Structure 1
């Protein structure tokens, strides 16, 4: 799932860059690309993976 989110963010960054769309300074293609890199980094760090409760085995 994080890979799909990252791919979408990279595609949006590509469109902003390729179409030379002028956006607000806080929403540039570089910032969207960095968000795309942040998503898998957070996933690999364990954020959003959830807690698993292990019961006792008898």
Structure 2
């Protein structure tokens, strides 16, 4: 799930960079790229991969 979110954030950052869109001081290309990298890191840690019940 985090990989999909990261891909969407990277696509948005690319579109903003190509179209030279400015959405304010908070939402920039750098912010979107860093949020995408955080999602990739969480995906590589194994978070969001699925839920499995614990066996007892």
Which runs of no fewer than 5 residues in structure 2 stay unpaired? Answer: none
Output the aligned Cα RMSD.
1.8
* Higher RCO (C-alpha 8 Å, min separation 6): 2
Q: What 5-or-longer segments of structure 1 have no aligned partner?
A: none
Is the 2:2–2:42 Cα contact (8 Å) retained in structure 1?
no
TM-score normalised by structure 1 residue count:
0.74
TM-score by length of 2: 0.76
- Larger Cα Rg: Structure 1 or Structure 2? 1
Structure with greater proportional helix content: 2
Q: How many residues align?
A: 55
Answer with 15-24 or 37-46: which moved more: 37-46
User: How much has 1:51 moved relative to structure 2?
Assistant: 6.7
Distance 1:35 1:29 in 2: 10
